Amino acid sequence: QMTDISTKGGPSSPSYDWFQTDSLVTLVIYTKQKDIHLDSIIIDHQNDSFRAETIIKDYSYLIHIGLSHEVQEDFSVRVVENVGKIEIVLKKTENISWKCLGRPLEKHNSLIPKKDTGLYYRKCQLISKEDVTHDTKLFCLMLPPSTHLQVPIGQHVYLKLTITGTEIVKPYTPVFDSLLSEFKEPVLPNNKYIYFLIKIYPAGLFTPELDHLQIGDFVPVSNPEGNFKISKLQEVEDLFLLAAGTGFTPMVKILKYALINIPSLRKVKLMFFNKTEDAIIWRSQLEKLAFEDKRFDVEYVLSAPTSEWKGKQGHISPALLSEFLNKSSEKSKVLLCICGPTPFTEQGIKLLHDLNFSKDEIHSFTA
């Protein structure tokens, strides 16, 4: 059973195939692309519906099948990166021979531009919730055992809640559980847990409801979205991160990934804008990291400090940026990431252009 489809202007047509042993069913997806990783594929298996979405550049290739027989909840996924092959191994519940894999469900075997696919949600369980600052908490959600999903660095997901009868969704950016947890190996998020740093706005629509969830409750979590590409970090020497408030969240994974996986990296500087000292997320972790890794530095800028504050003050400004953005050499390869309230990000981008940084050197995180 070999199928092939193609699309005009998109990547060359992926295809799939399957085979079985007494106890296993292996589904093989041939993406015909090299740039395929474990975070390129999202798998959800619920009841007899099996869904595997592969992200190939800006396209989404969907396998969507009503399996002909029962399989166990857990499965394994392997990506052969150099040939772009994905293998999903399902465990049969009964050792019988399958005559077919199953029946095609909606949009099975289709390759669609990613922007045209709806977001798929699966219910995740709230495992823990921990205070980080007076108004920000670290939420830990657990994926179902029958889901394979890794949120790529720099991307976000949507959380969904039903509030007074209406479904509301809002975007949130997964972080690591800590900046310091020992990981000497390349980032291995082969993990069932997703962590979020979320600020609760007492008068907000969504976050008070989120805060009211009990441990053990379920929250639908979407597939990842976002246009940050990890390739932007390739060969970077100076990485500058401009974050305001919870705009810190995309910086968490970028920062750790860069320190561990980018050999060319000489310097990472975080300029962290907050209203007050007690609003600074993970301050002691940031300082510990700066102490442990000489390439990393953090500076705080407060817009509403108390009179005791001796550090930098104010909003983002030309003076603050020109002092902060000192490259390690005139020609060094630079990446600037910026995230925060919309006016902060917009002003920041304008100021960076005024300082002669090019579009390619700036990545802004926006809605």
Residue 137 binds ligand FAD, judged by CB under 6 A: no
**Furthest-apart CA atoms within the chain: distance in Å:** 76
Residue 247 binds ligand NAD, judged by CB under 6 A: yes
Residue 154 binds ligand NAD, judged by CB under 6 A: no
Task: State the Rg of the chain over Cα.
Answer: 23
Residue 245 binds ligand NAD, judged by CB under 6 A: yes
Partner in contact with 3, chosen from ligand FAD, ligand NAD, none, beta carbon below 5 to 8 Å by kind: none
Partner in contact with 247, chosen from ligand NAD, ligand FAD, none, beta carbon below 5 to 8 Å by kind: ligand NAD
Are the beta carbons of 233 and 240 closer than 8 angstroms?
no
Integer angstrom CA distances of residue 208 from 58, 126, 198, 200, 212? 35, 15, 11, 6, 6
Q: Which of 113, 88, 92 is nearest to 29 (CA)?
A: 88
Residue 95 or 164 with smaller CB distance to ligand FAD: 164
Measured from the CB of residue 67, what is the shortest distance to ligand FAD in angstroms?
35
Binding-site string for ligand NAD from residue 166 to residue 185, where x marks contact by CB under 6 A and - marks none: -------x------------
Residue 244 binds ligand NAD, judged by CB under 6 A: yes
Residue 343 binds ligand NAD, judged by CB under 6 A: yes
Query: Which residues touch 202 (CB under 8 Å, ≥6 apart)?
Result: 208
Residue 199 binds ligand NAD, judged by CB under 6 A: yes
Query: Which residues touch 231 (CB under 8 Å, ≥6 apart)?
Result: none
Partner in contact with 344, chosen from ligand FAD, ligand NAD, none, beta carbon below 5 to 8 Å by kind: ligand NAD
**Cβ atoms within 10 Å of 2's Cβ, excluding its own:** 8
DSSP code of residue 214: P
Stretch that binds ligand FAD, among 68-76, 98-106, 195-203, 279-287 (CB under 6 A): 195-203
Binding-site string for ligand FAD from residue 159 to residue 188, where x marks contact by CB under 6 A and - marks none: -----------xxxx---------------
CA 248 to CA 339: how far, in whole Å?
A: 7
Rounded (5°) CA angle 218-55-187: 70
Are the beta carbons of 173 and 136 closer than 8 angstroms?
no
By CB under 6 A, name the one of 63, 161, 249, 305 that touches ligand NAD.
249
Measured from the CB of residue 201, what is the shortest distance to ligand FAD in angstroms?
4
Query: Which residues touch 242 (CB under 8 Å, ≥6 apart)?
Result: 271, 273, 316, 321, 336, 337, 338, 339, 340, 348
Residue 344 binds ligand NAD, judged by CB under 6 A: yes
152 strand-pairing partners: none
Rounded (5°) CA angle 188-270-252: 25
Partner in contact with 315, chosen from ligand NAD, ligand FAD, none, beta carbon below 5 to 8 Å by kind: ligand NAD
Binding-site string for ligand NAD from residue 258 to residue 287, where x marks contact by CB under 6 A and - marks none: ---------------xxx---x--------
Residue 199 binds ligand FAD, judged by CB under 6 A: yes
Amino acid in the structure at residue 145: P
Residue 228 binds ligand FAD, judged by CB under 6 A: no
Q: Which residues bind ligand NAD (CB under 6 A)?
A: 156, 173, 199, 244-247, 249-250, 273-275, 279, 303, 315-316, 339-341, 343-344, 347, 365-367
Residues that bind ligand FAD (CB under 6 A): 156, 170-173, 196-199, 201, 203-207, 246, 249, 367
